[in-house]
Amino acid sequence: MSPRITEQLQATASSGKYKPDLEVERLVGVARYIESHADDRLTLAVLAKRANLSPSRLQKKFKAAFGVSPKAFQDAARLGLLKGALRGGEDVTGAIFEAGFGSVSRVYGEASRSMGMTPASYRAGGVGERIYYAYRDSTLGPLMMAATARGVCFAEFGENRVLLLEQLRHEFSQAEIVRSAGESGIDLDAWIVALDAHLASNAPRPDLPLDLRGTSFQLKVWKFLLSIAEGDVVSYGELATGIGKPGSARAAASACAANRVSVLVPCHRVLAANGKLGGYRWGLERKRTLLELERHNRANRRTK
């Protein structure tokens, strides 16, 4: 968790039925307290006292506003501390206790399920891997695609080649990052050309192998996105229900925002509950263009 996350939560909660001066500020205050004390033992009674609410009322109001219970929010905050410590080079055992988990066995039983891998594997950060990348000035702007031997692990739009390469190296800090030259055995240059052709001239969206990396929840979201047909859209609530987690629309939205593989994992097909575009990490204009492209393609198929 980060201050940016609680700001997003505040904006989301404020858009609902809660009165900012009575409830939202209290709830966001509790969320921020949990973030800053994620490694402490926090009881519902202690948090309720800070919000001047009963424990049962805090539980109900917090979950209604943010989609998760105070305990689940703290677990996520602790997981963020653990990941930060691991990325910072902390040894696994030290990182576990620094994040406030209290025991190694608990992390391997709980946090590893949330991370989609063991803490030791996460700490590796791609160590020993070779990741090839290719760049193209696509129809929707600067585009960089990268792949491991298993498939595409990164496909992002950005401002320019330099910033995109910096982002790739940040995402896979321990891997060897190599420019694709065509002889690698990975058809990356052809893949990025095929993706741009899809964006520019209504060519079919390339069906490429993917190497998706994230938490178990994120992987569920991304795999569901792959099942949404071209030209179709769903709401964040329908997405959450589709993965068997009704009530976790905000968490599903966060998983969409964490997607590293644009277009190929079609998070642009998810809209806000009111039918508006919602968010998109590569810009709403790109999201609008992608949706219009897909609707046009589907309409053309129906007339043939």
Residue 88 in domain: yes
**Residues 155, 264: one domain?**
no
Sequence-distant (≥ 6) Cβ neighbours of residue 228 within 8 angstroms: 234, 266, 269
Domain limit, last residue, from 124, 153, 177: 124
Residue 90: pLDDT above 90? Answer: no
25-36 and 3-14 helices, crossing angle to 10°: 160
Q: What is the CATH number of the domain that holds 287?
A: 1.10.10.10
Residues 219, 212: Cα–Cα separation, whole Å: 7
**Residues 149, 221: one domain?**
no
In this predicted structure, what is the pLDDT of residue 50? 87
**Residues 25, 104: one domain?**
yes
Tell me how many domains the chain contains.
Answer: 3
**Residues 240, 192: one domain?**
no
**Residues 13, 108: one domain?**
yes
Mean pLDDT of 20-48: 78
Domain limit, last residue, from 69, 95, 124: 124
In this predicted structure, what is the pLDDT of residue 186? 65
Residue 97: pLDDT above 50? Answer: no
CA distances 187 to 96, 126, 160, 165, 294, Å, are 40, 21, 22, 19, 25
User: Which range among 55-64, 186-195, 265-274 has the greatest average pLDDT?
Assistant: 265-274
Q: Which two tokens stand for residue 85?
A: 């410590």
**pLDDT-based confidence at 104, cuts 50/70/90?**
very low
**Residues 11, 110: one domain?**
yes
- Give the number of C-alpha atoms closer than 13 A to the C-alpha of residue 244, restricted to the C-beta side: 5
Residue 283 in domain: yes
Position with higher pLDDT, 19 vs 26: 26
In this predicted structure, what is the pLDDT of residue 85? 53
**Residues 147, 253: one domain?**
no
In this predicted structure, what is the pLDDT of residue 2? 41
**pLDDT-based confidence at 71, cuts 50/70/90?**
confident
Distance of CA 31 to the CA centre of its chain: 20
Q: Which two tokens stand for residue 46?
A: 């202690």
Q: Which two tokens stand for residue 27?
A: 């709830």
**pLDDT-based confidence at 3, cuts 50/70/90?**
very low
Residues 144, 243: Cα–Cα separation, whole Å: 29
**Residues 139, 239: one domain?**
no
Residues 90, 135: Cα–Cα separation, whole Å: 34
**Residues 141, 257: one domain?**
no
- One-letter amino acid for residue 231 of the chain: G
**Residues 120, 234: one domain?**
no
**Residues 181, 64: one domain?**
no
Residue 81 in domain: yes
**Residues 49, 1: one domain?**
yes
Please tell me whether the overall predicted TM-score, pTM, comes out greater than 0.75 for this model: no
Segments forming the whole domain that contains residue 175? 130-201
Residue 186 in domain: yes
Per residue in 106-128, pLDDT tens? Answer: 444 444 444 444 445 455 555 66
Residue 93: pLDDT above 90? Answer: no
| Bridge partners for 270 per DSSP | 234
Residue 17: pLDDT above 90? Answer: no
Domain limit, last residue, from 155, 177, 201: 201
In this predicted structure, what is the pLDDT of residue 205? 82
Per residue in 134-174, pLDDT tens? Answer: 999 999 999 999 998 888 999 999 999 999 999 999 888 88
Residue 190: pLDDT above 50? Answer: yes
Residue 209 in domain: no
Residue 224 in domain: yes
- By CB neighbour count within 10 A (0-12 exposed, 13-18 middle, 19+ buried), where does 14 fall? middle
Per residue in 54-68, pLDDT tens? Answer: 999 888 888 777 667
Residues 85, 301: Cα–Cα separation, whole Å: 51
In this predicted structure, what is the pLDDT of residue 216? 79
Mean pLDDT of 36-46: 81
Q: Which residues are annotated as catalytic?
A: 267
- 3-state class of 18 per DSSP? coil
Q: What is the CATH number of the domain that holds 75?
A: 1.10.10.60
Residue 211 in domain: no
| Bridge partners for 138 per DSSP | 141
User: Which range among 123-127, 136-140, 197-201, 243-247 has the greatest average pLDDT?
Assistant: 136-140
Asked whether 222 and 259 are in contact (CB, 8 A), the reply is: yes
Sequence-distant (≥ 6) Cβ neighbours of residue 12 within 8 angstroms: 65, 66, 250
Residue 42 in domain: yes
